[in-house]
């Protein structure tokens, strides 16, 4: 399934994206809340109360409540999580483009949950920021409480996969000598368009991942190149810190980001960032100046 949240910012409703419905070339959204009042959102309560199984059953109903998808805004496919855990330098070539040593253990950092943005919403460039660029990343969402998880069972804790653009203000990142502020400005976390359930992803480590800015390809790689694979990451992190339902883990970005290029390709108002991951859809985010 492709879970979505749709509607105005702050008033999104849970839904399921249905391609080629009601006819080929058309799409609609199953309005989950219109069919069952007690699924309010895709949040921790949803994931811990058999939400995915219940939504899957709604698809079998003979009179589904459908909303035409054309013109409908999509929000981030997960309601604000407790944590957004990000991974730095998880692709060797990306570490090399910054003249950094390849890490021997995972480098984790956090991104503010208030940075989350819809997959087609504008990225707002803060006043005075001159070196902002995007990072295409495969992200996963935790589906149940994960504490001291064995790597062999780690994939069973995943509710689904999605796309995160880890937008970064490089100047703020350097000024503070840490990553949180530079990566956490409002709108710096476009997520989605879908949360794709694991049954549709045969191998999360064999997905093509790309980023384009104004049609120019910057990143084009495969998640196969991750240094630390997803089962290890979940096991390593949960050995000390509990992962909760709805938490997001972003697995790092491949080489090719704009700020590492010569000359740099940095975001300016009017630019359009497109990020795609095989089987997970595509984001398209315009960059705008802060009002």
Domain shared by 66 and 164, yes or no? no
Q: Which residue has the higher pLDDT, 143 or 23?
A: 143
Domain shared by 150 and 20, yes or no? no
Q: What is the pLDDT of residues 70-81, one digit of tens each?
A: 999 999 999 999
Distance CA 129, CA 116 (A): 19
Task: Please give the pLDDT value at position 102.
Answer: 87
Cα torsion 150, 136, 223, 256 to 10°: value is -130
Give me the mean pLDDT over the 194-217 stretch.
98
Domain shared by 262 and 154, yes or no? yes
Pick the last residue of a domain from 23, 58, 75: 75
Domain shared by 90 and 67, yes or no? no
Domain shared by 204 and 227, yes or no? yes
pLDDT greater than 80 at residue 269? yes
Reading the block at residue 117, the tokens are: 């943005």
Nearest Cα to Cα of residue 51 among 246, 234, 212, 224: 246
Domain shared by 144 and 39, yes or no? no
Q: How far is CA 283 from CA 123, 155, 164, in A?
A: 12, 25, 9
Distance CA 210, CA 217 (A): 7
Tally of domains in the chain: 2
Q: What does the radius of gyration of the chain's CA atoms come to, in whole angstroms?
A: 18
Nearest Cα to Cα of residue 42 among 9, 81, 79: 79
- The parent domain of residue 51 ranges over 2-75
Give me the mean pLDDT over the 225-231 stretch.
98
Domain shared by 186 and 243, yes or no? yes
Give me the mean pLDDT over the 192-201 stretch.
98
Q: What is the pLDDT of residues 157-183, one digit of tens each?
A: 999 999 999 999 999 888 877 889 999
Distance CA 215, CA 223 (A): 22
3-state secondary structure of 56: helix
Asked if residues 120 and 74 have their Cβ atoms less than 8 Å apart, the reply is yes
In angstroms, the first-to-last Cα distance of the chain is 38
Pick the last residue of a domain from 75, 107, 140: 75
CATH number at residue 218: 3.90.850.10
Pick the last residue of a domain from 34, 51, 75: 75
Domain shared by 270 and 159, yes or no? yes
Mean pLDDT of all residues belonging to the chain: 96
Domain shared by 56 and 108, yes or no? no
Q: Is the pTM of this model over 0.95?
A: yes
Q: What is the pLDDT of residues 244-266, one digit of tens each?
A: 999 999 999 999 999 999 999 99
Domain shared by 171 and 102, yes or no? yes
Domain shared by 133 and 254, yes or no? yes
Task: Please give the pLDDT value at position 97.
Answer: 85
Domain shared by 11 and 31, yes or no? yes
């Amino acid at each position: 399934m492709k879970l979505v949240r749709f509607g105005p910012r702050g008033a999104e409703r849970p839904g399921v994206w249905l391609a080629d419905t009601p006819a080929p070339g058309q799409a609609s959204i199953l309005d989950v809340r219109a069919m069952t009042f007690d699924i309010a959102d895709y949040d921790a309560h949803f994931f811990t109360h058999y939400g995915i199984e219940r939504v899957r059953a709604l698809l079998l109903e003979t009179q589904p409540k459908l909303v035409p998808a054309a013109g409908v805004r999509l929000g981030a496919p997960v309601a604000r999580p407790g944590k957004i855990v990000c991974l730095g330098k998880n692709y060797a070539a990306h570490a090399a483009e910054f003249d950094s040593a390849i890490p021997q253990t995972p480098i984790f950092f956090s991104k503010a949950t208030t940075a989350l943005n819809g997959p087609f919403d504008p990225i707002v460039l803060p006043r005075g920021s001159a070196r902002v660029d995007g990072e295409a990343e495969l992200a996963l969402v935790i589906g149940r409480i994960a504490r001291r998880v064995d790597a062999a069972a780690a994939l069973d804790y995943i509710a689904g996969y999605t796309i995160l653009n880890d937008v970064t203000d490089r100047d703020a990142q350097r000024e503070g000598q840490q990553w949180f502020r530079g990566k956490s400005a409002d709108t710096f976390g476009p997520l989605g368009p879908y949360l794709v359930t694991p049954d549709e992803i045969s191998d999360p480590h064999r997905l093509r991942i790309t980023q384009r800015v104004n049609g120019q390809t910057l990143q084009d790689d495969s998640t196969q190149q991750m240094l630390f694979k997803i089962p290890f990451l979940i096991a390593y992190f949960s050995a000390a810190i509990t992962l909760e339902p709805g938490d997001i883990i972003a697995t790092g970005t491949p080489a090719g980001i704009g700020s590492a290029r010569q000359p740099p390709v940095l975001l300016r108002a009017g630019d359009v960032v497109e990020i795609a991951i095989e089987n997970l859809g595509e984001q398209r985010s315009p960059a705008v100046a802060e009002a």
